[in-house]
Chain A
Amino acid sequence: MDANPRSALTHRCYPQGGTVASTEIIPHQRCHNQMMKRAEPRLAAPARPGMTASRAAAARAGGAVRVAAGLAGLAVAAGALAIAEGPGRATTYAGSSPAGAAFTLSAGLALIAAGLIIRLDPGARRTGDLALLAGVTWFAPVWVAWQDGPPLVPSLAMVAGGFTFPLVVHLVLAYPDGRVGSAPARALVTAAYAEATLAAAVLALFRDPYLDPGCLANCNVNVFLVHPVPSLANAVEAADRWFAVAAAAALTAVCSARLAAASRPARRRIAPVAVPAIALAAAVAARAIALQQTTVEDPFNPALFTIFAVASAAVIAIAGGLVAGVTRARAERRAIARIAVNLSAAPAPGALQSALAEALHDPGLQIAYWLPGARWYADATGQKVPEPAARPGRTVTRLTRDGHPIAAVTHAGTGPGLEGHLGPAIVLGLENERLQAELLAQLDQLRASRARIVETADAERRRLERDLHDGAQQRLLALSYDIRLARASAEAAGHTTARAALTTAAEQTQGALEELRELAHGIYPAVLAEAGIAPALATLADTAPLPVNILSADARRCPAPAEAAAYFTVAEAVADAARRGAGHATVTVIHDGGRLIVTVADDGAARAASLAALADRVGALGGSLLIEPARCRAEIPCASW
């Protein structure tokens, strides 16, 4: 309820000539009436324009609409100026002083101009319309003061004035994606429109300006009035002020939360709109509280005028911020278009991500490609990455092509504005890189599978060696022991023939033991697994058919597959050197940057056959084998698999 002594103002304040107070953005002003028209813009579906011909036609039509809207806006502004200089001289901020006129005009025109500029962008047409509408309603409180004109005009203006604030709230919260993203923001926008509509309707139908103690301008007119109910009108006006305070607080909260949650690039983008929006909210709340005390919005009241000035400046800043945002988005689109041009040259994996990050000034941008076969996401090099998920300040835009998912882009921003920026060429580029990532991922899997095969084979060899050692060799040992016992008893009993046979058997057993030992060693030298490559190579040199100099053998250990690959490389190369009649061979094994580098050089005849099996084994571990006529060099990653 009004805090004002109602009795003092039982009359209309200024019989006529007085304009309404509402010169600013607040939901609705006092002095309104009648039926609201459907000022509630049920906003158009997200305009994602089709293509080509229809788009060109739309652009032409858009041009005409823009010219008409611009002219209309100018007319509204010019009319407001005229009214302010005439009948509104005492009742409007615009009429109260040149500064007031300047604030009123520049704020309203800023919104109209912003609307026209934003409308140039087909994707942002709805935002442009909102700004245009806000600009026009901004002048409504001045038009209320037009007491010489047709009574319908001030009556309509009383209704329209209440919608400036909801429209600006909508603009602010729909920035920068053109859609009000979060649930609290949507609730705030909806509530603001609903409250403005309800208040405007009640006041239009039941408020007789003449009986309104808060009426200042043009208090004779309300063509929509059905029946004056002053108590209802006053109650609604008071409720409207409290709502304005609450809505301003909510707007401040939402904008602050957005700023706080945004990543740095996103914050740079949001701040030009969100910060003035907070200032505007403060002005709106201050005005509502001030009116609670004074009831009449007297433009000559210094406090009220200051609040109006702050609100106007905030609106101008918001309009500027909106235009800057659209301009920036346009620049980004052009940058993205340039990427598309550069895609003609085959880009390296990941080039698209860095190009997009640069174009969008978002160094943290990440592209994850969907691999339908593997059913996980990968980066451009085919490495598995966690499924992209939105988090504060980061949005995930999932891109599809012909209904199939291609990629998920994690980027700064609060809403899904990215997809519209990426033209078909970029999407094609993404699809291309996705295919490449898929290939690389498959290559990786293949590599891992080859490595597993080698590892399994090695493990099998080791197991075989152990089985021989613990099984056949032990049994032969036991057999040779038994033969010796038998021979001893044969000897004691004087069976010379049996003794001779048993001696032969003992020798045979001994021979079998030796062969078995060599076999086991060849399958997998136990010392390789237990003590590493250096001792194993020393033993290899002990038994090699030609002199083998081990110039250096690093004693550091590597995973078994790498050591085995290094050992068998040397073994194979030494055997090959012997086949080619080499006089000697030299071996070096060094660790270098996480790789085992094995070199075997000899002085034999030039190599005829390639060491294909060796190349396979080394390659399977992600290493490389260089075969020269009398030298071979293997590089084997010494990392755990």
Chain B
Amino acid sequence: MRVVVAEDVMLTREGITRLLTDSGIDVVGQAGDVAALLHAVRTTQPDAAIVDIRMPPTHTDEGLVAAQQIRTEQPGVSVLILSQYIEPHYAMRLLEDHPERTGYLLKERVFDVAVLIDALRRLADGETVVDPTIVARLIARKRTADPLDQLTEREREVLALIAEGLSNRAIAARLFVTERTVEAHVKQIFQKLSLSTDPDSHRRVLAVLAHLRTT
């Protein structure tokens, strides 16, 4: 797998690069700002770009903007946003235009090499990646009349994995059940929560996140 790493703090950038290299992943480009990132992606045609959300010059949301640009211009390149913010707003903004092959992970998680590799593989498979911390926070959100109360324990587990961006097959593998069982759970959950989105589409991640946020 060929990857470009964009991160303005050199220590972090090199740490990530080293982890990836050690795991046999080919880091074909490193960038300290958006322009260098876009240039590296255009010239090296990587499988994925790992992008810090906050980069020069304004240190606000350059990473998000760049991610959307990459996904639009080169649909074959996955983008994994790294952030220090547990901020569903950013994650949802990222997924709005291109739900597949995009991911939002908390930065400290990438040093767990297994998590990083797993995220990159899932993106390569066309899945979405949303940091479990964000999903957990949204599920734990205090609600007046909690629609999640109608769900069984297993259904809630499946709901969380949907929100993290896993496909039915991945959920089945994670929960040690058949894919058909997962499909049944998903149908149940969407019915109980009155979600109208196609449960099999990539849009389902955003629909679930939005639902969790507004109830």
* A469-B89 CB under 8 A given contacts A480-B111, A538-B213, A542-B137: no
* A547-B137 CB under 8 A given contacts A469-B54, A474-B9, A539-B88: no
* A526-B11 CB under 8 A given contacts A480-B108, A513-B108, A584-B144: no
Bound complex: CA A547 to CA B142 (Å): 5
Bound complex: CA A101 to CA B154 (Å): 124
Chain A: residues with Cβ within 8 Å of the partner, total of 33
Write out the residue numbers on chain B whose beta carbons fall within 8 Å of the beta carbon of A466: 59
Write out the residue numbers on chain B whose beta carbons fall within 8 Å of the beta carbon of A545: 142
Write out the residue numbers on chain B whose beta carbons fall within 8 Å of the beta carbon of A477: 12, 107-108, 111
Bound complex: CA A481 to CA B109 (Å): 10
Write out the residue numbers on chain A whose beta carbons fall within 8 Å of the beta carbon of B97: none
B75 close to chain A: CB less than 8 A: no
CB pair B11–A530 under 8 Å, yes or no, is no
Query: Which of B27-35, B79-87, B122-130, B165-173 is the contact stretch?
Result: B79-87
Residue of A nearest to B87 (CB): A527
A470 close to chain B: CB less than 8 A: yes
CB pair A478–B11 under 8 Å, yes or no, is yes
Residue of B nearest to A506 (CB): B111
From 571 to 615 in chain A, residues with beta carbon under 8 angstroms from any chain B beta carbon are 583-584
* A474-B142 CB under 8 A given contacts A480-B108, A480-B111: no
A541 close to chain B: CB less than 8 A: yes
Bound complex: CA A444 to CA B90 (Å): 40
Write out the residue numbers on chain B whose beta carbons fall within 8 Å of the beta carbon of A527: 85, 87, 89-90
Kindly provide the distance from the CB of B136 to the nearest chain A CB, expressed in whole angstroms.
Answer: 11
B138 close to chain A: CB less than 8 A: yes
CB pair B87–A539 under 8 Å, yes or no, is yes
CB pair A473–B142 under 8 Å, yes or no, is no
CB pair A538–B54 under 8 Å, yes or no, is no
Bound complex: CA A473 to CA B108 (Å): 10
CB pair A535–B85 under 8 Å, yes or no, is no
Bound complex: CA A521 to CA B138 (Å): 17
CB pair B138–A542 under 8 Å, yes or no, is yes
CB pair B89–A473 under 8 Å, yes or no, is no
Bound complex: CA A539 to CA B60 (Å): 17
Bound complex: CA A474 to CA B10 (Å): 10
A531 close to chain B: CB less than 8 A: yes
A517 close to chain B: CB less than 8 A: yes
From 459 to 480 in chain A, residues with beta carbon under 8 angstroms from any chain B beta carbon are 466, 469-470, 473-474, 477-478, 480
Bound complex: CA A513 to CA B108 (Å): 8
B61 close to chain A: CB less than 8 A: yes
Write out the residue numbers on chain A whose beta carbons fall within 8 Å of the beta carbon of B89: 527, 531, 535, 538-539
B147 close to chain A: CB less than 8 A: no
Write out the residue numbers on chain A whose beta carbons fall within 8 Å of the beta carbon of B143: 547
B180 close to chain A: CB less than 8 A: no
From 531 to 585 in chain A, residues with beta carbon under 8 angstroms from any chain B beta carbon are 531, 535, 538-539, 541-549, 583-584
B141 close to chain A: CB less than 8 A: yes
* A478-B85 CB under 8 A given contacts A530-B61, A545-B142, A547-B144: no
From 69 to 96 in chain B, residues with beta carbon under 8 angstroms from any chain A beta carbon are 84-90
A484 close to chain B: CB less than 8 A: yes
CB pair B213–A542 under 8 Å, yes or no, is yes
CB pair B12–A474 under 8 Å, yes or no, is yes
Residue of A nearest to B142 (CB): A547
B174-215 CB mask vs A (1 if < 8 Å, else 0) is 000000000000000000000000000000000000000100
Which 10 pairs, one residue from A and one from B, show the smallest C-beta to C-beta distance?
A: A535-B89, A547-B142, A547-B144, A481-B15, A481-B111, A530-B60, A478-B11, A584-B144, A474-B9, A547-B143
User: Could you list 30 examples of A-B contacts with CB < 8 Å?
Assistant: A469-B54, A473-B84, A474-B9, A474-B11, A474-B12, A477-B12, A477-B107, A478-B15, A480-B111, A481-B11, A481-B12, A481-B15, A481-B111, A484-B112, A521-B85, A526-B85, A527-B85, A527-B90, A530-B60, A530-B61, A531-B89, A538-B89, A538-B213, A539-B88, A539-B89, A542-B138, A542-B141, A543-B137, A545-B142, A547-B142
* A531-B61, A545-B142 known, 7 other contacts, Cβ within 8 Å: A473-B84, A474-B9, A477-B107, A481-B11, A526-B60, A527-B85, A531-B89
